[in-house]
Amino acid sequence: MNEKWLLEKDDYVPKKERDTYIDKSILSFLKILSRIRSVKNRDKVFYRIDPVLKVIFTILNILFISLSRNFTYLFILDIYVIISILLMDSEDRKKIMSISFIFPIVTLIMLIPSMMKGNIYNSLLLFQRIILSVLFANILSYSTQWTHISRTLKLLFVPDIFIWVMEIGLKYIILLGEYSTSLLYALKLRSIGKNQDKQGSISRIMGNLFLKSYRMSQDLSSAMECRGFVGEYKVSIEFKLKNIDYIYGLINIIIIVLFVILNY
């Protein structure tokens, strides 16, 4: 026979409470994880370009932008960057345009006193260089997977230990991000009603995350030692150029030649 209190209707109404902080934290973690995990295998032309070429020419273009003092060359690069963005997915296009202008605009505001004293040319030149460099870096970031970028660095004779640390770091950011998201969901479920100590809960999550990362680093070190790791990082790269790669390479070579002609 059931107890009488089991048959009574539960009239519990939890007190209203704002979970904005936890919700925003969960959304931020999920955005970062989806950003790292995203597979850039879309139909747009720019995503089909070989990542090795994209990394190499992005580095060269940023280098030449920092060396150039010619507005005509920078204006040509403006057109090139706009066309590149138009060849990308609309979602990535919006993100690139929204985040690429924040830092250059702040820099421009800081340069206003210098411009008021007559140093207009150099100030505008610096602003133009910054905005182009940021756009080039973001275009590469949004159109290329992180794993492809790290593999390309191997071709550029970047030290193995640097590539290895970067790859391991990215993998563990994903693992720890998933662990943090699970902890935040657990905190949200346990915060039904009124939780007066959310800040304390967040600090305990951070402490738990630190201990988890410490244990994972020890496990990784032990695994590397057992497998005889000697610091050599091997990467298999398939380098097969397509028509779009040749067109992309030719355009960038022309831009490099224009840099030499217009600046020297």
Residue 27 lies in a domain: no
pLDDT at 212 over 60: yes
Distance between CA atoms of residues 15 and 85, nearest Å: 48
Distance between CA atoms of residues 174 and 194, nearest Å: 31
Residue 80 lies in a domain: yes
Per-position b or e across 149-173, b if 16+ CB within 10 A of its CB: bbbbbbeeeeeeeebbeebeeeeee
Residue 130 lies in a domain: yes
pLDDT at 18 over 70: no
Q: What is the pLDDT of residues 219-263, one digit of tens each?
A: 888 888 888 777 676 766 666 788 888 999 999 999 999 999 988
Give the domain range for residue 169. 146-233
Residue 235, pLDDT score: 66
Same domain membership, residue 157 and residue 127: no
Please name the amino acid found at residue 242.
K
Same domain membership, residue 184 and residue 248: no
- Angle at which helix 160-190 crosses helix 198-226, to 10 degrees, equals 140
Helical (H) or strand (E) element with 186 = helix 160-190
Structure tokens at 1: 């026979």
Same domain membership, residue 257 and residue 135: yes
pLDDT at 41 over 60: no
Closest CA to 173 of 63, 21, 29, 75: 29
Residue 133 lies in a domain: yes
Same domain membership, residue 97 and residue 57: yes
Residue 52 lies in a domain: yes
Q: What is the pLDDT of residues 158-169, one digit of tens each?
A: 887 777 788 788
pTM of the model: 0.70
Classify residue 157 as left (phi > 0), alpha (psi -120 to 50) or beta.
left
